[in-house]
Amino acid sequence: MTESITKMTQDVVLEGNSPAKEVAQKIGKPYSTLLREINPFDQNAKLGAGTLLDILKATNEVRLLEHMAKCIGYTVKPNNVHPA
């Protein structure tokens, strides 16, 4: 499951609505560091939970959250209130 989440995160960052450099800027990470952390094949770099949350906020992407919830038997339901 870990590789799947990292790969999904990589897809969101590299193929999402916001350019990857913009995502890096929004979350306060150097672009090269972000690319390394979301590379599922780099065994020496890890995607931290805090960075994942920052990416979710920066991209407004819920697929990752839905996937993680589904893996543990939950579903994600919007509350119609968007954080600032």
Residues 6-51: pLDDT tens digits? 999 999 999 988 999 999 999 999 999 999 999 999 989 899 999 9
Per-residue pLDDT reduced to its tens digit, 54-63:
999 999 999 8
Amino acid at 5: I
Output b/e per residue, 61-78; b: 16+ Cβ within 10 A: beebeeebeeeeeeeeee
| Amino acid at residue number 67 | H
Q: Is the pLDDT of residue 84 over 70?
A: no
State the pTM of this model.
Answer: 0.85
Q: What residues contact residue 56 under an 8 Å CB cut-off, 6+ apart?
A: 62, 64, 65
| d(C-alpha 64, C-alpha 52), whole Å | 9
